[in-house]
Amino acid sequence: MNFLSLFVLVPVLMMVGLFLSKNLTQIRAVAVTGASLLLALAVGLVFAYLGERAAGNTSEMLFAADHVWYAPLNIHYSVGVDGISVAMLLLSAIIVFTGVFASWKMEFLEKEFFLWFCLLSTGVFGFFISLDLFTMFMYYEIALIPMYLLIGVWGSGRKEYSAMKLTLMLMAGSALLLLGILGIYYLSGATSMNLLEIARTGVPAASQNWLFPLVFVGFGVLGALFPFHTWSPDGHASAPTAVSMLHAGVLMKLGGYGCFRVAIYLMPQAANELAWIFIILTGVSVVYGAYSAIVQTDLKYINAYSSVSHCGLVLFAILMLNQTAMNGAILQMLSHGLMTALFFALIGMIYGRTHTRDIRQMQGLMKIMPFLGVCYVIAGLASLGLPGLSGFVAEMTIFIGAFIHQDAFHRVFTIIACTSIVITAVYILRVVGKILYGPAADHQHIDAGDARWYERTSTIVLILAIAGIGLAPLWISDMISDSLLPIVQNINL
Amino acid sequence: MEYTLFIVLLPFLSFLFLGLVGKRLTPRAAGYIGTVVLAISTCLSYITAWHYFTTAKVDGVFEKLTPLNFTWLNFTEKLHIDLGILLDPIAVMMLVVITTVSLMVHLYSVGYMHGERGFQRYYAFLSLFTFSMLGLVVATNIFQMYIFWELVGASSYLLIGFDYAHPEAVAASKKAFIVTRFADLGFLVGILILSFYTGTFDFERLTSGDASLFAGMEGLSFMGCSVVSWALALIFMGGAGKSAMFPLHVWLPDAMEGPTPVSALIHAATMVVAGVYLVARLFPVYYLQAPDVLVLVAIVGAVTSLYAAIVACVQTDIKRVLAFSTISQIGFMMVGLGVSGMEGREGLGYMASMFHLFTHAMFKALLFLGAGAIIHAVHSNEMEHMGGLRKYLPITHITFLVACLAIAGIPPFSGFFSKDEILAATFHFNPALGAVMSLTAGLTAFYMFRLYYRIFWNKASHRDHAPREAPGSMTVPLTFLAAATLVAGFIPFGKFVTSDSAEYIIHLDWTVAAASVAVALIAIGIATLFYRRESPIPDRLASSLRGLHAAASRRFYLDDLYLFVTKKIIFNGISKPVAWFDRHVVDGAMNGFATLSQRVSYSIRGFQSGQVQQYVMVILLGVLLIAVLALFI
Amino acid sequence: MDYSNFIYLKEELSLIAVIVILLLYDIFGSKKSLNYFQPAACLLFAAHILFTCCPAGQTLAIFGNIPPADQANAAASVYPTFSGMYNLFPLGSIIKTILSVGTLIVLLQARDWLEEEQTRVRRGEFYMITLFTLLGMYFMISAGNFLLFYIGLELASVPMATLVAFDKHRNHSAEAGAKYILTAVFASGLLLYGISLLYGTTGTLYFTDIPAAINGSPLQIMAFILFFAGMGFKLSLVPFHQWTPDVYQGAPTPVTAYLSVISKGAAAFALVTILCKVFGNITEHWQPILFWITIATITVANLFALRQQNLKRFLAYSSISQAGYIMLGVISASATGVTSLLYYILVYIFSNLAVFGVITIIERRSGKETIDDYNGLYTTNPRLSLVMMIALFSLAGIPPLAGFFSKFFVFAAAVEQGYYWLVFIALLNTVISLYYYLRLVRAMFINKNENPVAAIRSDNYTRLGLLACSAGILLLGILSIVHGEIYRHAVGW
Amino acid sequence: MEELHLEYYLVASAIMFFAGVYGFITRRNLLAILISIELILNSVDINFALFNRFLFPGQLEGFFFTLFAIGVSACETAVAIAIIINIYRNIRNIQVKNLEQLKD
């Protein structure tokens, strides 16, 4: 069996294990073992991948395997990875790992929580290893639906409303997507739903013009494309910590990855023709999210809007349709995934101690919980693009890439997108100043302790990853960049 | 000269060490570790300087050496960020300046910050800052510079907000970061434009004078200016932000909320001259490709300089006075660069500017450290709480006086030599501008001595206990810097640092020198008259020029304007409506779909009436409708 | 007449045998032995299923008397017997097996209800009537002549009325029965009128002969419309659907279950048979009609379902909208279409019966049948809630449950024929349907309830039924062999 | 004597059909409704017989269909009446307006 399938199998086995486990200790043991295994797998995959490439293997997808599943519709179970999927798998594994630790202390229904959590992971990992449109879509939906219960049962605030809104909007997106996928398959006349195969056959240009928006918007809903992003603030605000992490950290990346893997890769002509519409939308997203974040008072809302802005940048960069910008987009996905997960983890931990997320009610937390405070500052600095942390690498690559277009339209939007780095600084520093700094006021907060070991594990792993990418970006950037080549060539044909 | 790597790397290691395990160390140990590491770094940079200036000269020109350079990140085939070390005269000079001042500040802080909470953290941040600043000056390419530029900004943010329980400090750090960040946006866009057309970030290629690099930009213009001018102007905007040039200077006075040694290090000697350094670094590009931007640099420098000098005259917080004085002096440096030419004697302004940067670093650090010693003694920043301190703080007094004389431009103190060269170059460029700068120099002398007299002379304010002189760890740096201020002027600077890297023999322009000394003396005289003893003249003057005085005290309302723009326009005018729009219009539309379906669902409930006859009726009508549609359409 | 033809009636004969045995048992069995009536009936019926679907029986039935030369053809196509009155074809056997399995599950679920005081004495009737309707469906499916078709149809629907009115003492049951029989007879009147017109214009009632005489004259189209209205009634398509909610609500729950899946599945298959075999020449006339009917069915049903409180009523609307999705398979009228149709029916049977199984047991034990009554069900009845949830998700089309696959396949079939708009609207409706399915999930898992349904110990029959359903829901999608097998037989059909 | 054309009969059967429909929709008594339904079914029977007799005189298919349809409609009526009796037992009334409890 192909070892990529382990990425799906491990979470499934985890689910079985969870189902059988009897007490909290066993549940935790299963979760930690599984998550560590996944992380080890992902790291191993990175080395294996780089090794193969170094050994001169130049095929587009490595470790590919293919089994016919539904022969009548030419649906195959086919897996394979290129540098981009490897990067995304690594991201997912890190976030699943840290998510387990971040949800160490659940208050009720632990088993069910982890069951859904594993199902979500299954979907996420499956999505990234899939090469077949059908399985890709299937995993995509598998990843979406557990959100409903995870938010609805374990969430807080207006959880039912948020969960419902999130699920319905994302499902509406996936409805468009399904039509798009079917259209692509039937109109391309390909003999299988395999991505590479369809890319080779090509979709007729006339059909691309209506399929492209369908697919792009379909994935874009999950990628928080303006104006379909409104599920995100409410959803994140209501979700429990680990779910916010996984959702903002990985699930939203499914959107970006899909946009680029399906919409751009398979429909290059339409991408060239219609990119301008979406550049306007994403350009708006970037600035709009940032401005909205400035006035929010709920920590999670701030971060959610910040995600709108950052994910907008991802889609924006993808639409620039050149290697550098796309490379930046993938890096931004990684970077945003890690730092937003860190943010949500920290917010969850702070909330667990202060029982409020309203920044007006918190002050001087740095004194009370220095570890969390420092981590929050690091996350903030990463988010506003400090060199040495991952955000900088991604943003700079995007801007350089976006600037390759010479016409006024692209230039203007690139510069508009650039301004987000200032606005980001404004809202990040505002929050940091309000909640961490100043004298510690609330007695209830003063009694709260600093991070526990499992919380430390979770944050430290994330910070290490952020700093790792930020300090030594070359290997991952080159890995992604090489894999982008076939896609870019497809666009420029 | 690979060992130069360690100059940069050691502070970083010290940062990591102190940052990660600092809490486990005693404060004293942390302070010593930081200081010792920096001392090693300083020694290394001295060795580097000696090594470089003795060996790197080929055919009378200092070569650019790149002992280290590796690719850090690839963008496109041509564009990639390298990290490396570039040694040329200005870089080496900056290494010396930064490590020296930083070492002094490290040493000084052992005494000054004694007993502060977060002492270890403080040293970690100092190390981080030093690392960033060193990385900035040895940058081999513009993007490396930008990277360290940002790091410098962040570490400055951390240091200003060091006392985070103090709301003013937090606000000031935020302001500093955001204003400079805004300027950096310009820098970034400038880099984007420049690199896109030239296809390189590399300083060596950019400054090689190779016109073919810029061929792609030729003939392109935007809003009446050529694209290359735009690019360089935007890059200058970044420099202006860091160097607190008008109108982006607003953050610097507020940044005085940080610990005083930090002000000495960051906001006097090192970080704030980064902008000057940036322009100097790209000077050939400015000069050859966009001379018009150089004029802009000169004008901005002059305006800043004059403006800051005027404002400095009415400040009452001693650190604020020093802050405005810094702004003003950096203005001088900018003017020096702006009026400079490239070759030979034309390059006077450049040389002078760098010279001034060097001397200013010493005496301004001295001033700040002295101010720190004073504040340490009286626990206040306000002039009215001081007065008559000369008896209590003899060492501080003498060293402070030396610095004041230097900044006022009195020979033989170092400031005289460097400032005089700038004035000479300015007069050579444009007499009117020269006059303005001379006036500014006079104002400088006036406000510095106003400061001096009100601290050390004048009437002593009421005190509970007598102020005591600072401990040795603080006075040693003061003495060292005073000595440096005394001798620095006699360094044959033109031998080392010039615009074309060839030797330049300094000739004092005696007319300019005499005039400026005269102006300075007159200004000092007025200050003596006004402030040596308590005198009614200043108040009377202030009331007769009430409008001007009030405006100057409020810094000509610039801060209010910024506040208006940020609070009223951005916060209330943009963000709030945007957030409202998002919740009510965009989200409202999404919710609207849901409500609409619900409404429709309720409005059609009557159709399911429960009457079987109606059901049959509907079936029949359905059949008829289908029949009509199928047969007639 | 060659009596050997009767061997082709293997399925029908075996069912008749079951009915006769049960009849005799019910009449002549001693009081004591009648205690075993239900298990015996179920076992007997299960044996019938095994017999009809076992490969040996299959081969015998198909190849028994066919000359060897035709055998290759016959495996995948229609083999007329009784001079064309009765058609023998593998696809028919498959659908019959599917329906029988569904019926068996219904019987298992009905057991608890039948043990009740009032129905206990009449449980024999229930079995026989149910099996007779099934027999009717068998004939309807295999009919090769409108006369046999009509008789099968009536045999399937007239006894159904007595089932609906089975709870003699419940007003609602009687009312539902009356409504059902009145509308059913009216609809069969329309259908008959259609058949009579068809006869008048073609001069024959044999399916094989009619196509030659079909020329698309207005009278024939009118005949088609009338016929379609009659079938639309059985399938409860809008606007022929209004009896559905009332009858579903009033009828005993097991009967509702039977009505909603088995009867609907048979009608759908019969419809597609006739559309393809009889009206195959005038596709361009009936496809637009089906197009609009499908849209109306899905949309109207969803809109009505949105605000339902009574679960059975809610499921009635849900099943109307499901019928709309079934129509997507019908309208495609291709091999993939028919495959997806059959597959959809199969999955739909399992999913819907799982829901009905849970509803039945809860209604029986607690008398509660509104959505709000299900609040907090998970706290007391986790297993029932889980089964209900996967069933609902399957109905909503969420992977990896079978419902996702079946929905995907009908959409694929429709897109293959170019019905993009139809699929688009259907997809948007899936979002609405997801909303109302999630409402129930929300009630069970998220909503709090002070006084939830008490913990229920269900009987073994129900458990078995639910287990079968759950297994079907979980496995049918992943095991592609089922779909592949159907497709293999559908290709030449 | 003029021969009776097919059309005459067809019109008669159509009138019968619609009379049945009209009766179904307007009658208040369940039994009356049932009778109306019989009208509908019988109109269909007439149709079959007519077509067979006039258009395809050589066959018997239509006649057979008529016979079967009559038989089936008898069954339907029997079941319907059984249910109506049941209703009568429950509520002592067979007015159709009493069958409106299940709605919405």
Asked whether the beta carbons of residue C226 and residue B623 sit closer than 8 angstroms, the reply is yes
**Model confidence at C56, in pLDDT bands (50, 70, 90)?**
very low
D80, C182: Cβ pair inside 8 Å?
yes
Please state the rounded mean pLDDT for residues A436-440: 81
Interchain touch C–B (≥3 Cβ pairs closer than 8 Å): yes
Widest pairwise Cα distance in chain C: 71
Position D1 scores a pLDDT of: 47
Token code pair at residue B269: 């000697």
Q: Does the beta-carbon distance from C428 to A175 stay under 8 Å? A: yes
Q: Percent helix, strand, coil in chain B (nearest 5)? A: 75, 5, 20
- C312 contacts C247 by C-beta, under 8 angstroms: no
- Mean of pLDDT over chain B: 86
Give residue D38's pLDDT band: very low, low, confident or very high (50, 70, 90). very high
b/e map of D77-99 (b: 16 or more CB within 10 Å)? Answer: bebbeebbebbeebeeebebebb
- Report chain B residues whose CB lies below 8 A from the CB of A478: 74
Question: What pLDDT does C94 receive?
Answer: 87
Whether the CB of D35 is below 8 Å from some CB of chain C: the reply is no
How near does any CA of chain C get to the CA of A35, in Å?
22
pLDDT tens-digit series, residues A288-317: 899 989 888 888 899 999 999 999 999 999
> Domain segments of chain D: what residues?
6-98
ipTM of the shown complex: 0.90
* Summary mean pLDDT of chain A: 89
Integer-rounded Cα Rg, in Å, for chain C is: 22
pLDDT over 90 percentage in chain D: 60
Closest CA–CA distance from residue D104 to any residue of chain C (Å): 8
CB-CB under 8 Å, B605 with C307: yes
> What are D81's two structure tokens?
């009446």
**Among candidate residues C424, C121, C95, the one with its CA nearest the CA of residue C271:** C95
Average pLDDT for A384-404: 90
Q: What is the Cα–Cα distance from B142 to B153, expressed in whole angstroms?
A: 16
In this complex, the chains that touch A, judged by 3 or more CB pairs closer than 8 A, are B, C
Which secondary-structure segment (H or E) carries B575? Answer: none
Query: pLDDT tens digit string along C243-262?
Result: 999 999 999 999 999 999 99
- What string of H, E and C letters represents the secondary structure of B297-330? HHHHHHHHHHHHHHHHCCCCEHHHHHHHHHHHHH
A169: nearest CB among B195, B576, B590: B590
Q: Can you tell me the mean pLDDT for A26-43?
A: 93
- pLDDT surpasses 60 at C59: no
Which H helix or E strand runs over B66? Answer: strand B65-74
Return the minimum-mean-pLDDT range out of A163-167, C72-76, C299-303, D40-44: C72-76
Q: What is the pLDDT of residues B120-159, one digit of tens each?
A: 888 899 899 999 999 999 999 999 999 999 999 999 998 8
**Confidence at residue C163, expressed as pLDDT on a 0 to 100 scale:** 93
Residue B470, pLDDT above cutoff 90? no
Task: Please indicate if any CB of chain C lies within 8 Å of the CB of B622.
Answer: yes
Residue A227 CB neighbour total at 10 angstroms: 16
Reported as a pLDDT band with limits 50, 70 and 90, residue C6 is confident
Q: How far apart are CA B307 and CA B454, in angstroms?
A: 22
- Chain B CB contacts of C240 under 8 Å are 618-619, 622
pLDDT tens track for B11-28: 999 999 988 888 888 888
CA distance C140 to C155: 9
DSSP C455: P
Q: Is A418 on the interface with B (CB under 8 A)?
A: yes
Nearest-by-Cβ selection for B617 from D25, D96, D99: D25
Chain B residues within an 8 Å CB radius of D102? 610
Give burial (CB, 10 Å; 0-12/13-18/19+) of A282: buried
Locate the domains of chain C by residue range: 3-483
For A195, A340, C206, the CA distances from A124, given in Å and listed in that order, are 18, 17, 55
Cβ atoms of B105 and B261 closer than 8 Å? yes
Chains adjacent to D (≥3 CB pairs closer than 8 angstroms): B, C
Please report residues of D whose CB lies closer than 8 A to that of C171.
Answer: 90-91, 101
Using a CB–CB cutoff of 8 Å, tell me whether D26 touches chain B.
Answer: yes
Q: In a 3-state reduction of DSSP, which class is residue B418? A: helix
Residue A71, min C-alpha distance to chain C (Å)? 7
Question: What is the phi-psi region of residue A389: left when phi exceeds 0, alpha when psi lies from -120 to 50, beta otherwise?
Answer: beta
pLDDT at B595 exceeding the cut of 70: yes
Show the tokens assigned to C365. 């034990």
> Would you call C233 an interface residue with chain D, using a CB distance cutoff of 8 Å?
no
Span B421-443, average pLDDT: 88
pLDDT at C58 over 80: no
Question: C114-134, pLDDT tens digit by residue?
Answer: 888 888 888 889 999 999 999
The answer for A63, left when phi > 0, alpha when psi is -120 to 50, beta otherwise, is left
Residue B605 has pLDDT above 60, yes or no: yes
B75 lies within 8 A of chain C by CB: no
pLDDT of residue C161 exceeding 90, the answer is yes
Strand pairing partners for D95? D29
> Which of D61, D76, D87 is closest, CB to CB, to C158?
D76
Q: Given this structure, which CATH class describes domain D6-98? A: mainly alpha
Q: Is the pLDDT of residue C152 over 90?
A: yes
Q: What is the pLDDT of residue C280?
A: 86
Mean of pLDDT values over A457-486: 90
From chain A, the residues in CB contact with C431 under 8 A are 168, 171-172, 175
Whether chain B has a CB inside 8 Å of the CB on C285: the answer is yes
% of chain B exceeding 70 in pLDDT: 100
The DSSP code for B582 is I
Q: Show me where the domains of chain A are located.
A: 3-491
Judged by a CB distance cut-off of 8 A, whether residue A70 touches chain C is yes
- What distance in Å separates the CA atoms of residue A31 and residue C443, rounded to the nearest whole number? 28
Residue A72's alpha-carbon distances to A147, B53, B312, C97, C355, in angstroms, are 32, 79, 84, 22, 30
Lowest mean pLDDT among B51-60, B289-298, B441-450, C27-36: B51-60
Q: A442, A361 in Cβ contact below 8 A? A: yes
Which of C185, C217, C225, C233 to mutate to test binding with chain B, by most B CBs within 10 Å of its CB? Answer: C225
Average pLDDT over residues B592-607: 88
| Contact (CB, 8 A) for C25 and C37 | yes
Minimum mean pLDDT among A476-490, B553-567, C269-283, D15-29: which range?
B553-567
Q: Which residues of chain D make contact with C316, given a CB cutoff of 8 A?
A: none
pLDDT recorded at residue C459: 87
Determine which of B9, B13, B76 to mutate to test the interface with A (most A C-beta atoms within 10 Å). Answer: B76
Q: Is A286 helix (H, G, I), strand (E, B) or coil?
A: helix
Q: How far apart are CA D43 and CA D17, in angstroms?
A: 5
The overall average pLDDT reported for chain C is 88
CB contact under 8 A, D104 and B608: yes
Handedness of CA A224, A280, A405, B227 (dihedral sign): negative
Chains in contact with chain C (at least 3 beta-carbon pairs closer than 8 A):
A, B, D
What would the mean pLDDT of B254-260 be, rounded to a whole number? 86
Q: Which range among A438-447, B523-532, B619-628, C300-309 shows the weakest confidence by mean pLDDT?
A: A438-447
- Considering only the beta carbons, identify the residue of B608, B614, B627 that sits closest to C304: B608
Phi-psi region for residue A321, left (φ > 0), alpha (ψ -120 to 50) or beta?
left
